[in-house]
Amino acid sequence: MLNTLEKIKELPWTKGVPLVCDRAMGKTSLLQKMHGMGITFLTALTRHEYTNYAGALAKSRIVFPLKGLSEKEIAAIARLMIATNTDFAKVSDDLFAIDLGAMEVSVLGKNSDFRAHMKYLGNRIQTAMYLGREIKRLVDLGVFGSIIAAGKSLKLKPGLASKYYHLNRLPEQVQAAILNGEACNCSINRIDEIALMDNPADMFEKFYEHVDKSNKAPKKTKRQYRQTEDIHSRNKAVPTGETIFKVRVVAYFNPQMYADQKDRAQRWLQKIENFEVDLNKRLSSNDSRRTKGSVYAEIDRFIRKKDLLRCFDIKINQGSTSNTHSLNFKLTLKEEEWNKRRDFDGFCVLVAHPDCNLTAAELCKLNRTKDIVEKDFQVIKSVLQVGPIRHRTDLKVKAHLTVCMLSLLIERLLEKKLAGKFSARQAMEMLHACHLNKYIVGDESLYTITELNTQQQAILKQLHMTHLSNDDYLLERIVKR
């Protein structure tokens, strides 16, 4: 998309008319690039970006008891409450817009050269600890929406990024020891297993047992710690490339979407509760030989489906049954994090170029018109039955796309001339049975038109093309071959 914008940025209309982009462009880093191109843009933010731009929405959130209410009742109450809020402008019966004004946004550097600043590190464990902290920093600041995305920016595979991120669970003293090089002979896999333990005291004990075993040194009675320079102070020497720019922020509220999202959230909580009961039942079996690592991985995979990993505390314990190998776990909902996410239910946040002078309601309507493009592709594939492309040369592909666009233009003209009395699809289906028929009698060819029914005649009349149903008119214009 950015390559396309780079090619059209010099066109005069891109400076005045808002260019409506897909939600995939609603990320801070991409907004900064579009802002730098000088393009007047409009796009919806991705969900992960909401907290950075729409903190003011928390003041306008809809709060009322949901227990015992149906989805329809929730939507009705939300619609009534938002309609009485003077900060919102009514766009339609199910859409209310609010203007949050111009806002300064900073793009934090992704430190793509982070590895280059760690050449002095002498072992893999130290490097893993630094990378784990860097992944946590990028995710916490909202530069990336997930651990995997942050790890990818540091050229790490998904599994390795998650493993390094787990190291942040270790106590601060243990992390300091790793950064000081005390764990240089340790196994990264064993350190990761220790990081998945629940009790910090157990982590501390198991870590130094592994360090002593790896270094083949006797166990010390008292640990001496060297003062470690804070990781963030070390990072001050690393250029972050922070850029500050202004954007126009608008949001709209949809009561039905609010009810849907509330309902889905409650259903997912129930699914997680059922998952907890089912997995604990399997873990209590005498045949179970599951390890804490494998249990944590299964829980992680299930909760991560809806990006809810930060909303739960995971505690894995040794089972109390006769089977000494059995495990059980407890998921505790973090109410503060859960409520923070629910603050934005029903809202969609739009970001535009600061020079865009349209009202909040106009920007809202403009953003929703981009669905026309999606519908156009559906028309090309279904109504016009053009495609798929099976060409290899550029010339043939361009010719095919030209036919598609001309077909779409004809469909649009039909819709305009039919003026809502018939759709273009209905008109083409009804006229599909109309043909110019040829009869050969001896050496002479006779031509006639299929007799039209009432609806077919009405369509031709609306298009001002009734002459096409006249046999004499067509006979005068037929060229014999």
- 306-339 per-position pLDDT tens digit: 778 778 888 888 765 555 567 888 899 988 888 8
More confident residue, 87 or 248: 248
d(CA 451, CA 436): 10
The mean pLDDT of the chain is 79
Q: What does each C-alpha distance from 232 to 5, 136, 177, 235, 436 come to in angstroms? A: 36, 12, 16, 5, 80
pLDDT of residue 158 exceeding 60: yes
Strand partners, 246: 104
Question: What would the pLDDT profile of 86-120 be if each residue is shown by its tens digit?
Answer: 778 888 888 888 888 888 876 655 444 444 444 44
Q: Is the pLDDT of residue 236 over 60?
A: no
Amino acid letter, residue 166 = H
3 state SS of 43: strand
3-class SS of residue 188: helix
Side-chain-facing half-sphere of 242: CA atoms under 13 Å: 9
Q: Which residues contact 39 (CB under 8 A, 6 or more apart)?
A: 5, 9, 14, 15, 19, 353
> 10 Å Cβ neighbour count for 195?
21
Whole-number Å distance between alpha carbons of 274 and 279 = 9
- Written as six digits, the tokens of 371 are 């669905």
3-state secondary structure of 315: strand
Per-residue pLDDT for 385 more than 70? Answer: no
Rounded Cα distance, 340 and 353, in Å: 27
How does pLDDT run across 259-281, given as a tens digit for each residue?
Answer: 898 889 989 999 999 999 999 88
Rg (the chain; Cα; Å): 32
At 231 the pLDDT is 42
In eight-state DSSP terms, residue 118 is G
Query: For residue 143, what pLDDT band results from cuts at 50, 70 and 90?
Result: low
Residue among 170, 142, 175, 135 nearest 156 (CA): 135
Q: Which long-range contacts (CB under 8 A, 24 or more apart) does 373-376 make?
A: 376/408
Angle at the Cα of 382 (from 381 to 384), degrees rounded to 5?
Answer: 80
Give 407-459 pLDDT, tens digit per residue.
888 888 888 888 888 888 888 888 888 888 888 888 888 888 888 888 888 99
Looking at residue 61, what is its pLDDT? 65
